[in-house]
A and B are shown apart, each in its own frame.
Chain A
């Protein structure tokens, strides 16, 4: 080691004299001037070394090198020996230069080869020179050949165990190899040998202490450095770093944290004051400015650090900070570039690796992002954040959902393992929940609750959880979906409160969240029938954010439900006209509305537009089109070829749907209708039954099942089905369903020839009529049923009807007549579902029925009088018989009693003389008493037997009597036309019911886009809406 401060001047011995030329250290000449002097005076090479050292001390390495090269080139010194120190010094200067920050790799290699060259020359002069060996060791060290370098230092230390550079080099190698104890020992040796050594071995010691967890010792070491040299930037910055690292301790209070940060920053400031170019200092300055959001300064320092060539870790960190700043400011492309450099300089910079992965995701470079996160996992297999993100990435593609869940599970397990809250990531659970939403609702809710729990604890710790409202919204949505409306409302409101707590000037994201939550809340109000509250919210949303299509659509649906079709249409038009021309929901609702208004052609056009221009796989539109064609096919009465063609088209649509969604109950329903239409009733019924099992919430299936049952003559079944569907799905509000029920009941009554059942059909028709009194079809049906009732009463045997029945039937015929009269009188311009001339024929038929019943009334009265007489006669006879029998019985009983009395008397006479036979006598008496009881019960039995015989006999009589009765011809006077009319009417009833059930098809679907389709949307947090919608339309 040299000691440059021994004097303030350097001397050059003058040639041929004892005098010297003194040159002040503070005003060194240029290397060229110096060389001129040295050459002229033929100064020894030793002097070249001294000047080079002085240049180097003044950080003028290039001049030092120049002087040394000049020295090597002088010809006045022929010996190689004095050249050795020059070579050594040159080598170490080159190494030093190569180590300088800001150097490019090519230059550095050049410098290293220069160094190698000179060390080679030195070795030639003296293969055992310590300095050469040390320089070689240092060169190897800087080239990262640790083993070789270690060998060289060891060699030197073998010769001279006190060689400071060798000790320092060895310490460095130990440190790099993380043998901190050995490294510490080496530094300690240096300290003992040379307490004021530069570089200060205390720095190395402090670093070892720190690595060994002896933070206080480390701090002491660095502090001592500063005491020795207040300008020791390294010591300052290391003290700063220790303080900064303390801030990261999780259990630290906020105040303590601030305290540490402040202390750290003070050290950093001192370090910066000491050395403005210290790369690590620059790095930490940059970090500091990033923390306090002074972006410009942070960028400047980070850029400088990133240019610290040769210091890969510093460069990596510099680029990382730059990347972070870009990242935070959403300049993702810049961020990606910086992160990429950061990980290139140091692949182990995991934070940079993480940022790199995150920004790659923004760039949609998914594959690269995945490998970035996988790299983190290869170093840190339990990095929950990376696992969670990978899970999240995989969850975006339906193909890798299983993989995603694996990762989430892995993350969950690690979290459970570590059981500390600080690393729990609520977002991961949120994503996990979103992933599970489609498959496992209870697990989803669990994941959300987990996330909420973590957030709750975060909030308890005073942390701010930004996405808490979204989380609450999602939890609420699940409760909402499962019908726990109160719980859902609570969560929605809580979420809104949290948003409100953010103050007045909320950012865009919060605004969007608030809107989503309010929309969901409105949906909830709708479900609770608090339509007005819902409406207010939708209106407010639509006014604030005109582009929020769903709010407009819901308002439309509400208007439509109130019968305000025009307003509804306007609202739907607003959406596809002004907001989004490709909004499938809006077009679908429009198509359904047109259908409801009987604008079949328009409806079809609207729906075709969806399939042709927006999404040809849109299941809702395809189904609606199928139903639309089905409806027209049913209405088509004249052109049978056309009818078949329409049916065919309809089933093509259903077929398409089934190809897209094999389990679509609506489409399967359509196919079953096809079977029914083509007369395959049994198969159709079978299919409807299966469908009802699978999709019991779809009224159409029930209705079709009822229809097919009726077609197959299973009227009782059909009536039961209609009853249950009417109550279950339509609150008994749907006139057409009830009319269909009445029709099935009517057929049942005819089938069973039962006037009582016909009365029930009448009640059903009345119910339908009451629901919609302006519909004359129901009225016509009432008249028809009244007449049929009269017919059935007329057809009945006198013994099975009463005068009252006939009177009732006649009164009914009168009502029917008045109804038919009014129906015939309906002005011709009014469209009606019956034919007026047939109604007229019906009226006449009623008259003839009335005449007939009038005659039959007389017969019935006579019959009943006769019957009454016969019955009276029978009763009288029976009474006589009974009296006679009673008489006989009484006589018999008296006879027996007399007998018994005689016996008793005889016994008593015997007893008089023989008291000892008393016991015998008692026994006899008991025996007799029993016999008496037996006699009595025998009497009872015979009575029963008589009654039973009597009844059997009367039944037999009835049976015998029947054929003897004059047989009435069935509907004898009904004109042929009237019969035809009746049949037409039947098909009319059927047709209407069918067409109505078609309407219901559509209603079912119509509900879907609004309730199911958008409802699935409402349960998502905003971020996932789009992706989910894509899935919906798939």
Chain B
């Protein structure tokens, strides 16, 4: 019997406009970024708003938190990378990356770096401390839509816009800075990717409506999950590696059980594109955010 997840809390109108990104910190703060140009911090238990962070001029299309849950990073269409102090709910640092040079950002597992994808397809690594660009991973010229560090810190993966040769997922070796693997499963834009907690698998979601699970080390595709009727905008893996949640522009959230090898649930509580998903550290709760301005929290029946 697969684990069941139920909607435990819904925050309607959590932002003034569509919500585009979400992260769940290890200290159980939910960070959301919105088209209304704000970043908001929420208590994941009560759903209470802990603070609103302003500064971005345009929509906030990615947020992430560092491993110890003290900092958040956000990127916006205004090309600013902003680092926020989650303890005092205030701005910590601004990095100006230049127009469309920082599309989405992720903290490295050790929290020292931030990786961002750029319009040139390169992945830039910034130092959190200095705010300087410290390393560039050379892509293949296709706009880099999303990035992810493997939890062991060895790899950076990025998903790109559509490419005729289907090479839309790239995997770099952090130590050498070299391109290590190219995954050719999706010919259409890859908007989201996530590593399993043991760093062995890479999940990718694409406009081709599919989710693919790749062997990160060997580069082969393990499985393809289809079921969404529109673009897959977000994927997230639970810490135990059993569950993958996916959000789509078909307004649905799907939950896949990788052990049972099937879609175990489809949540249709959102009324617009589901742009972001985030799991808690234990892997028994997750949250989804959507263009319908709502945040939804889900938890296992046992949680």
Contact = CB atoms under 8 A, between A and B. Distances in A.
Contact of A733 (B18, B79, B249): B249
B209 A770 contact: no
A351 interface: no
Contacts of A774: 119, 143, 161
A563 B209 CA distance: 11
A562 B186 contact: yes
Interface in B144-183: 145, 161-162, 164, 166
B64 interface: no
A936 to B, nearest CB: 45
Interface in B37-78: 57-59, 61, 77-78
Contacts of B143: 773-774
B214 to A, nearest CB: 16
Nearest to A778: B77
A294 interface: no
A565 B17 CA distance: 36
A769 interface: yes
B188 A563 contact: yes
A422 B100 CA distance: 77
A1032 B210 CA distance: 34
A530 interface: yes
B249 A530 contact: no
A784 interface: no
B99 A818 contact: yes
Contacts of A592: none
A247 to B, nearest CB: 55
B207 A563 contact: yes
Given A773-B100, A818-B99, A529 B226 contact: yes
Contacts of A819: 99
Nearest to A564: B187
Contact of B209 (A529, A763, A782): A529
B118 to A, nearest CB: 10
Interface string A551-575: 0000000000111111000000000
B226 A532 contact: yes
Given A732-B291, A766-B58, A531 B226 contact: yes
Interface string B20-31: 100000000000
Interface stretch (B85-93, B227-235, B236-244): B227-235
A631 interface: no
Contacts of A563: 162, 166, 186-188, 207-208
A731 B250 contact: yes
Nearest to A766: B59
A10 interface: no
B230 A733 contact: yes
A118 interface: no
Contacts of B58: 762, 766, 782, 815
A566 B57 contact: no
Given A733-B249, A773-B119, A767 B227 contact: no
Contacts of A814: 57
A331 to B, nearest CB: 51
A799 interface: no
A826 to B, nearest CB: 10
A561 B18 CA distance: 27
Nearest to B225: A532
A812 interface: yes
Residue from B35, B100, B228 having most chain A Cβ neighbours under 10 A:
B100
Interface in A491-548: 529-532
A28 interface: no
B224 interface: yes
Contacts of B227: 529-530
Given A562-B210, A733-B249, A822 B61 contact: no
| Chain A interface mostly | helix
A818 B187 CA distance: 32
A821 B96 CA distance: 14
B272 interface: yes
A561 B273 CA distance: 19
A731 B57 contact: no
Contacts of A822: 98-100
B208 A561 contact: yes
| Interface bracket on B | 35 or more
Interface residues of A, number: 34
A488 interface: no
Nearest to A565: B164
B226 A815 contact: no
A821 B59 contact: no
A434 to B, nearest CB: 31
Nearest to B55: A811
A531 B211 CA distance: 12
A258 to B, nearest CB: 52
B103 interface: yes
A779 interface: yes
Interface string A726-761: 010001110000000000000000000000000000
Nearest to A560: B187
A774 B99 CA distance: 12
Contacts of A811: 57
Contacts of B224: 532
Interface in B270-303: 272-273, 291
B273 A731 contact: yes
Residue from B57, B59, B208, B272 having most chain A Cβ neighbours under 10 A:
B57
Interface string B250-286: 1100000000000000000000110000000000000
Contacts of B251: 731
A524 to B, nearest CB: 14
A762 B166 CA distance: 33
Interface in A694-722: none
Interface in B89-110: 98-100, 103
Nearest to B99: A822
A819 B162 CA distance: 23
B272 A732 contact: yes
Contacts of A766: 35, 58-59, 77
Interface in A805-848: 811-812, 814-815, 818-819, 821-823
Given A732-B249, A773-B100, A763 B20 contact: no
Nearest to B249: A731
A474 to B, nearest CB: 27
A733 B57 contact: no
Contact of A782 (B77, B230, B291): B77
A531 B210 contact: yes
Residue from A769, A812, A818 having most chain B Cβ neighbours under 10 A:
A818
Contacts of B59: 763, 766-767, 770
A733 B226 contact: no
Contacts of A732: 249, 272-273, 291
A762 B77 CA distance: 12
Contacts of A823: 99
A767 B188 contact: no
Given A763-B17, A767-B35, A770-B59, A733 B231 contact: yes
Nearest to B248: A731
A767 B188 CA distance: 19
Contact of B208 (A562, A769, A773): A562
Interface string B98-129: 11100100000000000000010000000000
Contacts of B188: 562-563
A431 to B, nearest CB: 36
Given A530-B226, A531-B210, A818-B99, 7 more contacts: A564-B187, A731-B249, A767-B59, A769-B77, A774-B119, A815-B57, A821-B99
16 contacts: A529-B226, A529-B229, A531-B210, A532-B226, A562-B188, A562-B210, A563-B166, A566-B164, A731-B230, A733-B230, A766-B77, A767-B59, A770-B61, A773-B145, A812-B57, A821-B99
Interface of A: 529-532, 561-566, 727, 731-733, 762-763, 766-767, 769-770, 772-774, 779, 782, 811-812, 814-815, 818-819, 821-823
* The 10 nearest A-B residue pairs measured at CB: A822-B99, A563-B187, A562-B208, A563-B188, A774-B143, A731-B249, A731-B230, A564-B187, A531-B226, A815-B57
